[in-house]
Amino acid sequence: MMQDTLRTQKINKGWKLFSYAFLIFFTFLTLGPLIWMTYSSFKLNGEIMMYPLALPKHATLANYARAIEFGNLFSAFKNSIVYSAVSTCLTVLFSLSAGFALTKFGYKSSKFYMGTFTLGLLITVNSVITPLFIMEINTGLYNTHLGVILPYIAFGLPMAILIASSFIRGIPDALIEAALIDGAKYGYIFFTIILMISTPVMATISVLTFLSNWNEFLLVFTLTSGEAMRSLPVTVNSFAGRLNQDYGLQFSALVIATIPMFVFYVIAHNSLVKGFGEGAIKE
Amino acid sequence: MVQDKSKHRAYLSLLLPAFLVYVLIILYPILMSLGLSFTKWRHFKMVGFVGLENYVAILTDPSFQKSMWNNVQIMLVSVLGQIPLGIMLAYLIFRQWVKHTKFFEMMIFLPITISSVVVALLWNRVFSPVGIYTSLIRTITDNPDYVVKIFENRTFAMVPILVVLLWQHTSLYMVIFLANLQRIPESVFEAATLDGAKEFTIIRSIVLPQLANVIFTCSVLAISGSLKSFDLVFAMTSGGPVDYTSVMALYLYKQTFTFNNYGYGSAVSIIIVLLSVGLITFVRYVYAKAQRKYE
């Protein structure tokens, strides 16, 4: 017995060492480039060229001043907020109402609708981008906020409806029946009961949808043309893209583009982990 | 009767907002794409039906074949690189051999929030003559003139992109596997350790079978994800030099938005959809077969 525990301890020691080495290495690999990007953004281009890895000797905010002045980053930030926030709110609302309809009404057609939505998980932006572009040109939606928000909602819905349905299915029927007997309408039940109970799943859906919309690139890139309509990733790409040779300027633009999401990550970390973790279980 | 009618009306009005947006933006365009794929365009105008001509032209275009092969490389790295690494990271964190697991998990998961464009431009700098990677190699090999030339090598041009993909997405799988590991009852591990089971035995006969389902789901995620990869490649190399790092989505983008070849572009998108449905059906088939054998 004594020997056994000793042996286990020995084995554990090996694994412990290995775990530390591996996890520290991976953390370093993850953070290294980000830290380098951040402190390099306080160096002027010349200093970066001469001493690429050194910490800034003459730390300066000049890069940031120029990035903000010429990069149009502020208007891009506003657009990103509009695109992501509006589409996320509507995706949450639509997916919960559809989830309610599909799980609590008992109609046969529910199965068909559910299947159609699930099919959407396999369809990517690439596969509709050409016709969508032609449609938006013809209807005048091209280069408008709505022209980006609608596709964001559509592509967010399949996953959101799956998550919403599996949650709402678990709400006791008795709750809804009691409200119906009291004379409540279905719309009233949705807004007062279903939405109230569904707050945890609302958080999960919002966080996942907001994240993917905020970082989306192709739709904004192809369905808008003017600087005034661009989102943050598209603006950063055109302003600080790979052909830009002013490294200092580029780093500061990248840092500015990362900060909002970093804040988001710190706030929403737990919901994100929960959302991604459980999302894959449900499928 | 009246009750039924109002119930059905409520059902439809709850369902329709989602369904209409979905039909308008996804289903209708997919069908339109299928129709367009049989047409030819010149100067922003359709000039007639050409049957399967677009498909034949695409499949015989060496540039498309190169793009497809690059997608295959991305797929291999996703399934055989990101998933095993994700399992390993999740397991090391799950077993709590180290302190501050929460810290490690939080730091390693961080890239998930950073947009692909930022990731691409940052790593371009890492590999640039003034980047971390270049500087490190210069110091190690004592060769101050070293520069990264792998992008110009037709066979290996994808390697830097594959590295970045590993960096960016591995943590997603880590989080998924971690959530599922935490569902295995603690007592299972305690019993196994008391029985003197070696760690590798625990991994092989307890952990991996428990995760089989999730590994399958993640493979589906990884395959469909790798077929649609666009942002990262676009921002990092735009497919260049020539078509060395092109992927199918980039090929599609160029046909549609650079050459305004809407029919041809639509045919490419239909091919991508068919490939993704086909591959996922195949994985599902293999998984079902393996499961039957296992039981």
State yes or no: pLDDT of A283 exceeds 50. Answer: no
Residues in chain A: 283
| Distance, CA of B165 to CA of B116 (rounded, Å) | 10
Which of A197-201, B56-60, B208-212 is predicted with the least confidence, judged by mean pLDDT?
B208-212
The residue-averaged pLDDT of A190-208 equals 91
| Distance, CA of A146 to CA of A148 (rounded, Å) | 5
Per the CB < 8 A criterion, the answer to whether B25 and A150 are in contact is yes
B176 closest CA partner among B258, B93, B283, B98: B93
Please name the amino acid found at residue B28: Y
Chain A residues with CB-CB distance to B175 below 8 A: 272-273, 276-277
Whether B240 and chain A come into contact, CB under 8 Å, resolves to: no
Whether B135 and chain A come into contact, CB under 8 Å, resolves to: yes
Task: Write the pLDDT tens digit of every residue in B102-150.
Answer: 898 889 999 988 999 999 999 988 888 778 888 888 888 877 777 777 7
Residue among B15, B175, B231 minimizing CB distance to A218: B231
Percent of residues, chain A, with pLDDT higher than 70: 93
User: Which of A126, A209, A254 is the mutation pick for testing B, counting most B CBs within 10 A?
Assistant: A126
- pLDDT for the residue numbered A6: 55
Chain A residues with CB-CB distance to B29 below 8 A: 128, 131-132, 135
State yes or no: pLDDT of A282 exceeds 50. Answer: no
CA distance A196 to chain B (A): 16
User: Which of B113, B200, B215 is the mutation pick for testing A, counting most A CBs within 10 A?
Assistant: B113
The H-or-E segment that residue A25 falls in is: helix A2-40
The answer to whether residue B43 is domain-embedded is yes
| Distance, CA of A6 to CA of B70 (rounded, Å) | 51
The answer to whether residue B281 is domain-embedded is yes
- pLDDT for the residue numbered B153: 78
CA distance A14 to chain B (A): 10
- Give the pLDDT band of residue A220 (cuts 50, 70, 90): very high
State yes or no: pLDDT of A1 exceeds 60. Answer: no
Q: How far is CA B42 from CA A149, B33, B225, in A?
A: 30, 17, 32
* Extents of the domains making up chain A: 2-40, 71-282
Query: Which CATH number does the domain housing residue B162 bear?
Result: 1.10.3720.10
State yes or no: pLDDT of A2 exceeds 60. Answer: no
State yes or no: pLDDT of B294 exceeds 80. Answer: no
Q: What is the 3-state secondary structure (H, E, C) of chain B?
A: CHHHHHHHHHHHHHHHHHHHHHHHHHHHHHHHHHHHCCEEEECCEEEEECCCHHHHHHHCCHHHHHHHHHHHHHHHHHHHHHHHHHHHHHHHHHCCCCCCHHHHHHHHHHHHHCCHHHHHHHHHHHHCCCCHHHHHHHHHHCCCCCCCCHHHCCCCCCHHHHHHHHHHHHHHHHHHHHHHHCCCCHHHHHHHHHCCCCHHHHHHHHHHHHHHHHHHHHHHHHHHHHHCCCHHHHHHCCCCCCCCCCCHHHHHHHHHHHCCCHHHHHHHHHHHHHHHHHHHHHHHHHHHHHHHHHC
Q: How far is CA B41 from CA A130, A267, B37, B44, B54, in A?
A: 13, 49, 10, 6, 11
| Distance, CA of B191 to CA of B186 (rounded, Å) | 9
- pLDDT for the residue numbered B80: 94
Which of A80-84, B116-120, B290-294 is predicted with the least confidence, judged by mean pLDDT?
B290-294
Test B122 with A124 for CB contact under 8 angstroms.
Answer: no
Residue among A7, A132, A190 minimizing CB distance to B25: A132
| Distance, CA of A162 to CA of A269 (rounded, Å) | 22
| Distance, CA of B147 to CA of B137 (rounded, Å) | 9
A211 closest CA partner among A127, A124, A87: A87
| pTM given for the model | 0.89
The residue-averaged pLDDT of B45-73 equals 90
User: Which of B34, B36, B95, B121 is the mutation pick for testing A, counting most A CBs within 10 A?
Assistant: B121
Per the CB < 8 A criterion, the answer to whether A97 and B18 are in contact is yes
- List of residues 6+ apart from B72 with CB closer than 8 A: none
State yes or no: pLDDT of B182 exceeds 80. Answer: yes
The residue-averaged pLDDT of A23-36 equals 92
State which residues form the domain around B45.
37-294
| Distance, CA of A113 to CA of A208 (rounded, Å) | 23
Which of A131-135, A165-169, B7-11, B93-97 is predicted with the least confidence, judged by mean pLDDT?
B93-97
Topology (CATH level 3) of domain A71-282: MetI-like fold (1.10.3720)
Task: Write the pLDDT tens digit of every residue in B205-221.
Answer: 888 888 888 888 888 88
Chain A residues with CB-CB distance to B32 below 8 A: 131, 134-135
Supply the mean pLDDT for chain B.
87
Number of domains in chain B: 1
State yes or no: pLDDT of A228 exceeds 90. Answer: no
- pLDDT for the residue numbered A144: 92
CA distance B155 to chain A (A): 22
The residue-averaged pLDDT of A146-174 equals 92
Which chain A residue lies closest to B269 (C-alpha atoms)?
A127
State yes or no: pLDDT of B84 exceeds 90. Answer: yes
State yes or no: pLDDT of A250 exceeds 90. Answer: no
Residue B39, beta-bridge partner list: B49
Residue among A20, A36, A236 minimizing CB distance to B118: A236
| Distance, CA of B231 to CA of A234 (rounded, Å) | 10
Test B266 with A48 for CB contact under 8 angstroms.
Answer: no
Please name the amino acid found at residue B277: V
CA distance B186 to chain A (A): 17
Test B115 with A123 for CB contact under 8 angstroms.
Answer: no
| Distance, CA of A93 to CA of B15 (rounded, Å) | 11
The residue-averaged pLDDT of B171-180 equals 89
The answer to whether residue B4 is domain-embedded is no
Chain A residues with CB-CB distance to B121 below 8 A: 236-237, 240-242, 250, 254
Residue among A113, A250, A257 minimizing CB distance to B19: A113
Task: Write the pLDDT tens digit of every residue in B281-291.
Answer: 888 888 888 87
Which chain A residue lies closest to B12 (C-alpha atoms)?
A101
State yes or no: pLDDT of B55 exceeds 70. Answer: yes
- Give the pLDDT band of residue B204 (cuts 50, 70, 90): confident
State yes or no: pLDDT of A3 exceeds 60. Answer: no
CA distance B10 to chain A (A): 6
Chain B residues with CB-CB distance to A20 below 8 A: 97-98
Task: Write the pLDDT tens digit of every residue in B232-259.
Answer: 999 888 887 888 889 999 999 998 888 8
- pLDDT for the residue numbered A239: 79
Test A237 with B117 for CB contact under 8 angstroms.
Answer: yes
The answer to whether residue B30 is domain-embedded is no
- pLDDT for the residue numbered A86: 97
The residue-averaged pLDDT of B183-209 equals 81
Chain B residues with CB-CB distance to A8 below 8 A: 193
The answer to whether residue B261 is domain-embedded is yes
- Give the pLDDT band of residue A4 (cuts 50, 70, 90): low
Percent of residues, chain B, with pLDDT higher than 90: 34
Please name the amino acid found at residue B150: I
> Higher pLDDT residue, A158 or B199?
A158
Residue B49, beta-bridge partner list: B39
The answer to whether residue B175 is domain-embedded is yes
Which chain A residue lies closest to B20 (C-alpha atoms)?
A154
| Distance, CA of A23 to CA of B279 (rounded, Å) | 33
Residue among B123, B134, B198 minimizing CB distance to A33: B123
- Give the pLDDT band of residue B49 (cuts 50, 70, 90): confident
